[in-house]
Amino acid sequence: MVCNQWSKDNYQNEKGAEMVIIDGYKPLEENLAILEPTLKEKVTDTEVALNMVSGSGSEHMAVLSALLKLGVGIRLVVAGDGDEVKEL
């Protein structure tokens, strides 16, 4: 899960998702320097599910850029009822 410090402090991470912290106020290049190697190590499939409902434009740009540089497919998803995930 890519998020900012506020989200990490306030999100109830009941499923124990690993959190990668970025700062939307820092230059995009600094967040990319964090995301690229971290996601390269973690993403082992040919596609990822991406939810951008929350966060800043700068944070979204950093995540999208890092994923596109990895060459993975991106499916946009939103939370549904309960544990359901809906693809857009």
Q: pLDDT by residue (tens digit) across 16-52?
A: 888 999 998 999 999 999 999 999 999 999 999 999 9
Which amino acid type is present at position 83?
A: D
52 backbone dihedrals φ, ψ, rounded to 5°? -115, 30
List the domain boundaries for the chain: 2-87
Sorted by sequence, the CB contacts under 8 Å of residue 30 that are 6+ apart come out as 23
Quick check: 57 and 69 in contact, CB under 8 A?
no
Taking 90 as the threshold, does the pLDDT of residue 81 lie above it?
no
Count of Cβ atoms closer than 10 Å to residue 30 Cβ: 13
The CA-atom distances, in angstroms, between 47 and each of 18, 27, 28, 50, 80 are 18, 27, 23, 10, 20
